[in-house]
């Protein structure tokens, strides 16, 4: 066993307290390492915050743009739906009360009345007015036949239109017109029937007279004799009387007048009834129907684009939430800066520690170590 050196009494040597200085140096080195780590963490945190905030701003700008786009698309879809609703309402209102067959039947009847009036005008009126030019006669006849077309708007606006809009208020007017037209039609048919009977009777009487003339000629041996010629002339005079009686008959006058008026009015009525029916089917089948299909297809396309845009918005919102959550979990730079400042203050305090306090540290440290306590608080920095 080595013996401890023996110093002369009164000349004892006290070596410096080396462990305390090492401990202080170790603390300074440890604090410097922590400061370096904090600097690295601050730089990394600042970089992460900048990158995250930049990405967040991009998503916020994109979200704002998508929200505006969604608002425009919603407005476009609303406008399309309003057009569809308006067109569907018109489609329902345009539903004819009669079938297509009835509309076609009335239309053909109207054209027949116009054609009949055209024939009467060309064959009789043009002849009576002594219009010899064929072209002029046809133009005149067509003009008279178009009276039905002229009367159609009058019938539509005064009779048919109010009846279709409000049947209760215009029912009396409509019934009065129909009854009057029915009476007029029956009267015209009666006059025409009577006139046809007179024409038929006159024709039969003329045939009988013609047969008598032939019989007289066969019975006469000399057909050029005065008596034979006189008898034939008497028979011919009877034919002339029959023709004149037929022409001057009041039923002939009434039949021509009433038939012309009836054809014009009946043509206008038939065309007035048929046109709304045909127009309703035309609108529903060839206009509103195809347009509704196009609008519904367009609405579906817009809704699909809107769904895609909303899906893109959801993705950006998810990314926005993720970035905001990431920012919330990052250590605030102020906390890191404060920690670094405190460490720097501790390092400065250890560096500027007076030597007298250092010489007294052994006793402090030994007492602290003996008592199981760490270094005094002033050695760890100023708080």
Q: Does residue 87 register a pLDDT over 70?
A: yes
- The arithmetic mean of pLDDT across residues 357-363, rounded, is 42
Q: Does residue 108 register a pLDDT over 90?
A: yes
Q: What percent of the chain has pLDDT over 70?
A: 82
> Please, which pLDDT band fits residue 362 given cuts at 50, 70 and 90?
very low
> Please, which pLDDT band fits residue 223 given cuts at 50, 70 and 90?
low
Half-sphere exposure of 275 (CA within 13 A, CB side): 15
How many Å apart are CA 331 and CA 339, to the nearest integer?
12
How many Å apart are CA 32 and CA 38, to the nearest integer?
10
**Would you state the structure tokens that stand for residue 261, as one six-digit string?**
């008026």
**Would you state the structure tokens that stand for residue 322, as one six-digit string?**
């993720």
Contact by Cβ (8 Å): 260, 120: yes
- Please give the backbone phi and psi of residue 130, each rounded to the nearest 5 degrees, phi first: 60, 45
Sign of the dihedral through C-alpha 251, 257, 259, 265:
negative
Provide the pLDDT for residue 220: 65
Phi-psi region of 130 (alpha: psi -120 to 50; beta: other; left: phi over 0): left
Angle 143-146-149 from CA coordinates, rounded to 5°:
155
Please tell me the pTM assigned to this model.
0.58
Provide the pLDDT for residue 261: 86
> Please, which pLDDT band fits residue 43 given cuts at 50, 70 and 90?
confident
Angle 350-355-361 from CA coordinates, rounded to 5°:
75
Q: Does residue 12 register a pLDDT over 80?
A: no
Provide the pLDDT for residue 228: 65
Residue recorded with tokens 């600042």: 46
Provide the pLDDT for residue 281: 92
Contact by Cβ (8 Å): 64, 249: no
Residue recorded with tokens 């963490």: 41
Q: What 3-state DSSP class applies to 296?
A: helix
Q: Does residue 377 register a pLDDT over 50?
A: no
Contact by Cβ (8 Å): 306, 73: yes
Average pLDDT along the chain: 79
Q: pLDDT (tens digit, 9 = 90+) per residue, 142-171?
A: 888 888 888 888 888 888 888 878 878 888
Q: What 3-state DSSP class applies to 356?
A: helix
Provide the pLDDT for residue 104: 93
- The arithmetic mean of pLDDT across residues 17-38, rounded, is 77
Contact by Cβ (8 Å): 340, 39: yes
How many Å apart are CA 42 and CA 54, to the nearest integer?
18
Contact by Cβ (8 Å): 141, 122: yes
Q: What 3-state DSSP class applies to 12?
A: coil
Residue, of 229 and 367, whose pLDDT is higher = 229
Residue 262: count other Cβ atoms within 10 Å of its Cβ.
21
Name the burial class of residue 59, with classes exposed (0-12), middle (13-18) and buried (19+) by CB atoms within 10 angstroms of its CB.
buried
Q: pLDDT (tens digit, 9 = 90+) per residue, 161-216?
A: 888 788 788 888 888 888 998 998 899 889 888 888 888 888 888 888 888 777 77
Q: pLDDT (tens digit, 9 = 90+) per residue, 282-306?
A: 999 999 999 999 999 999 999 999 9
Domain segments of the chain as ranges: 18-85+310-332+342-377, 86-309
């Amino acid at each position: 066993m080595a013996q401890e050196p023996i110093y002369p009494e009164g000349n004892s040597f006290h070596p410096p307290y080396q462990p305390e200085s090492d401990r202080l140096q170790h603390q300074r080195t440890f604090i410097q390492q922590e400061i370096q780590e904090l600097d690295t963490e601050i730089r990394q945190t600042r970089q992460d915050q900048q990158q995250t905030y930049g990405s967040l701003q991009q998503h916020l700008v994109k979200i704002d743009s998508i929200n505006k786009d969604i608002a425009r698309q919603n407005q476009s879809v609303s406008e399309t739906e309003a057009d569809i609703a308006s067109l569907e309402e018109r489609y329902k209102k345009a539903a004819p009360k009669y079938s297509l067959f009835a509309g076609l039947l009335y239309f053909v009847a109207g054209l027949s009345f116009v054609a009949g009036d055209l024939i009467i005008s060309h064959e009789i009126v043009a002849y009576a007015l002594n219009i010899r030019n064929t072209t002029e006669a046809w133009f005149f006849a067509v003009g008279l036949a178009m009276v039905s077309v002229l009367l159609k708007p009058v019938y539509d606006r005064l009779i048919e239109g109010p009846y279709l809009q409000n049947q209760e208020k215009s029912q009396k007017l409509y019934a009065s017109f129909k009854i009057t037209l029915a009476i007029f039609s029956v009267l015209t048919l009666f006059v025409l029937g009577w006139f046809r009977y007179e024409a038929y009777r006159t024709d039969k009487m003329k045939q009988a007279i013609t047969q008598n003339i032939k019989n007289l000629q066969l019975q006469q041996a000399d057909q050029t004799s005065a008596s034979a010629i006189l008898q034939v002339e008497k028979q011919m005079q009877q034919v002339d009387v029959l023709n004149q009686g037929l022409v001057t008959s009041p039923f002939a006058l009434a039949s021509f007048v009433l038939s012309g008026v009836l054809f014009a009015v009946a043509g206008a009525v038939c065309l007035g009834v048929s046109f709304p029916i045909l127009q309703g089917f035309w609108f529903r089948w060839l206009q509103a129907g195809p347009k509704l299909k196009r609008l519904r297809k367009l609405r579906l396309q817009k809704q699909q684009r809107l769904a895609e845009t909303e899906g893109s918005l959801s993705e950006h919102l998810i990314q926005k939430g993720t970035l905001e959550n990431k920012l919330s979990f990052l250590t605030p730079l102020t906390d890191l800066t404060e920690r670094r400042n405190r460490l720097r203050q501790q390092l400065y305090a250890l560096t500027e520690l007076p030597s007298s306090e250092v010489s007294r540290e052994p006793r402090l440290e030994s007492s602290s170590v003996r008592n199981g306590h760490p270094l005094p608080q002033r050695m760890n920095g100023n708080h």
